[in-house]
Structure 1
Amino acid sequence: MSASNDTPAGRVRSTQVLSTHEQIVRALAQDILTGRLAPGEKLPLEADLLDRFGVSRTALREGLKTLAAKGFLSVKTRVGTRVTEPVHWNYFDKEVLAWQVSGGMDANFRRQLAEVRRALEPAAAALAADRRTVEDLAAMRTAVQAMRVENGSEYAFAQADLSLHLVIGAASKNPMMRSLASVIETALLEVFTLSPPTRDLRLHRDTVDAHERIVDLIEARDGAGAAAAMISVIDAGFGRVEAERSGSKA
């Protein structure tokens, strides 16, 4: 990223002043997400945690309750507090996704996100083709135009890209689908900035054209075509990011 206004939302949040409760929850969540506290492992003794965070016993216990509610911890009498297996972690919690993003999106997480997008967004596009309104189409065209004119700021392009995907989710007229899209928007915005097409004029044009094709098919009420076009966009973006990540490690 170049300038401060190109900082993804997940990173922006990490620079904000956190409350004592948020500091405890976020620090322990990062320990769990990064494997410093492994599944099945007991948390450090309460006295050690109190010393680490310099907080009251009440504040610490409230923090642990929050983590337990998000699926990270299991609290049992005579057994103690242990880290749960990842299958229990609530990834459809905005805070959990924000923690994952701020800690770095590894290859496994990027693949999982792409799989969720492949399951969700083509279905949203197909529904949008059947249910979209004139206002929905206007919002989609506005987002596409914002993508087309933005060839400088990587973050601004990612925001326009995200806006289009969220508008399509809303145009599905399925509030549950729109809510799921909203939940993962922090992760989407981050992944959209990993390998932005604004770095190459031809790639930028082709990427915008591919997104515009989704809108064209939605306007034409071609649900199957819109779904297929959405899959192509998701796969192209995922492939571009993974190629760049692989190249940076070579």
Structure 2
Amino acid sequence: MSAADSQPSDVAFSGLHASVVDQMGLAIGAGEWQSGSIMRIEELEERYGVSRSVIREVLRVLASMGMVQSRRRVGVQVLPATEWNLYDPQVIRWRLASPGRVAQLRSLTELRTAVEPQAARLAAMRAPLADASELMGLAGKLWAAGRDGDTELFLKLDIQFHHLVLSSSGNEMFGKLNSLVAEVLTGRTHYGMMPDHPHEEALQMHVDVASAIQRGNAVDAHAAMLAIMERAMTEMSTLWDETAHK
């Protein structure tokens, strides 16, 4: 058999493997398997209708994310969330799809509040002129998309805007947080936690961030981005309060 002949089965396996990884990740994230639970390979084979080799590969992926651990002569143990790779975009996605999504959004928004204002401050000091100009253009497009109620376009532009601020900070660690921010913004939008028409004040804040970075005003850039983060925290606070009283 030639390499070309074997290709379809490789692609099919890859798709099956990814599907089972996603199903198991969602189940663990949703708490179907509590921390400390023991999963047995034979039971997983039956539950997902796949071979032992597929299950073993899936478990290796989940173990690399810190979600499970093989225990000799016992089985595969589900680890507590504190052991998970909480910055992995796929783990974030699974947690946002779980009943605990509000708590996950709160943690992520608090992290953004700590990082993004500082990133904006550094961007005002370090951003190349082309990046600063692109930010101004994105802020204008965001305003138009928000005014028109084009939710998907607004989400796409918002992700690009925050990505560019993080990367323009010149701090490679901040730049790597882009996928995390993208998951937060996507989760809020797709789970109905964003207004259909963003408030004009929020749109103006994005313009203020871009303008301050373009002018090289680090203090104003920090303040404007902090205002965006605080507004997001305020918008989410009602959800957090509702969850706390359930």
TM-score range with shorter-chain normalisation? 0.7 to 0.9
CA distance in structure 2 between the aligned counterparts of 1:164 and 1:104, rounded to whole angstroms: 29
Q: Assess, with a 3 A threshold, how the Cα gap between structure 1 residues 192 and 129 changes in structure 2: closer, same or farther.
A: farther
Q: Assess, with a 3 A threshold, how the Cα gap between structure 1 residues 46 and 195 changes in structure 2: closer, same or farther.
A: closer
CA distance in structure 2 between the aligned counterparts of 1:120 and 1:213, rounded to whole angstroms: 18
1:106 partner amino acid: R
The counterpart of 2:204, out of the listed 200, 206, 209, is: 209
Aligned twin of 2:151: 154
Aligned twin of 1:8: none
The counterpart of 1:129, out of the listed 115, 120, 124, is: 124
CA distance in structure 1 between the aligned counterparts of 2:35 and 2:218, rounded to whole angstroms: 42
Deviates more, 1:217-226 or 1:19-28: 217-226
Matched, 1:178 2:175: yes
Alignment of 1:190-229 (within 5 A): 190-192=187-189, 194-199=192-197, 203=199, 205-229=200-224
- Measured on the aligned residues, the alpha-carbon RMSD in Å equals 2.4
Q: Assess, with a 3 A threshold, how the Cα gap between structure 1 residues 210 and 105 changes in structure 2: closer, same or farther.
A: farther
The counterpart of 1:64, out of the listed 59, 64, 71, is: 59
Aligned twin of 2:88: 93
1:111 partner amino acid: R
The TM-score, its normalising length taken from structure 1, stands at 0.83
CA distance in structure 2 between the aligned counterparts of 1:80 and 1:197, rounded to whole angstroms: 46
The counterpart of 2:15, out of the listed 14, 19, 35, is: 19
Contiguous gaps of at least 5 residues in structure 2: 1-13
| 1:174-194 CA-partner distances (Å, limit 9, x unpaired) | 222111123431222222564
CA distance in structure 2 between the aligned counterparts of 1:80 and 1:52, rounded to whole angstroms: 16
CA distance in structure 1 between the aligned counterparts of 2:223 and 2:69, rounded to whole angstroms: 42
CA distance in structure 2 between the aligned counterparts of 1:196 and 1:85, rounded to whole angstroms: 30
Contiguous gaps of at least 5 residues in structure 1: 1-17
Aligned twin of 1:111: 106
For the residue of structure 2 that corresponds to 1:19, the secondary structure is: helix
CA distance in structure 2 between the aligned counterparts of 1:158 and 1:29, rounded to whole angstroms: 25
Q: CA deviation at 1:47?
A: 1.9
Q: CA deviation at 1:34?
A: 1.0
For the 8 Å contact 1:92–1:184, the answer to whether it is kept is: no
Q: CA deviation at 1:247?
A: 7.7
| 1:5-60 CA-partner distances (Å, limit 9, x unpaired) | xxxxxxxxxxxxx82211221122112111110011111x3222111111111111
Report the number of matched residues: 229
For the 8 Å contact 1:147–1:161, the answer to whether it is kept is: yes
CA distance in structure 2 between the aligned counterparts of 1:74 and 1:106, rounded to whole angstroms: 24
For the 8 Å contact 2:30–2:97, the answer to whether it is kept is: no
For the residue of structure 2 that corresponds to 1:199, the secondary structure is: coil
Structure of larger gyration radius: 2
CA distance in structure 2 between the aligned counterparts of 1:196 and 1:49, rounded to whole angstroms: 37
Deviates more, 1:185-194 or 1:169-178: 185-194
Q: CA deviation at 1:244?
A: 6.2
CA distance in structure 2 between the aligned counterparts of 1:228 and 1:79, rounded to whole angstroms: 54
CA distance in structure 2 between the aligned counterparts of 1:123 and 1:190, rounded to whole angstroms: 23
2:212 partner amino acid: L
Q: Assess, with a 3 A threshold, how the Cα gap between structure 1 residues 247 and 63 changes in structure 2: closer, same or farther.
A: closer
CA distance in structure 2 between the aligned counterparts of 1:62 and 1:177, rounded to whole angstroms: 32
For the residue of structure 1 that corresponds to 2:184, the secondary structure is: helix
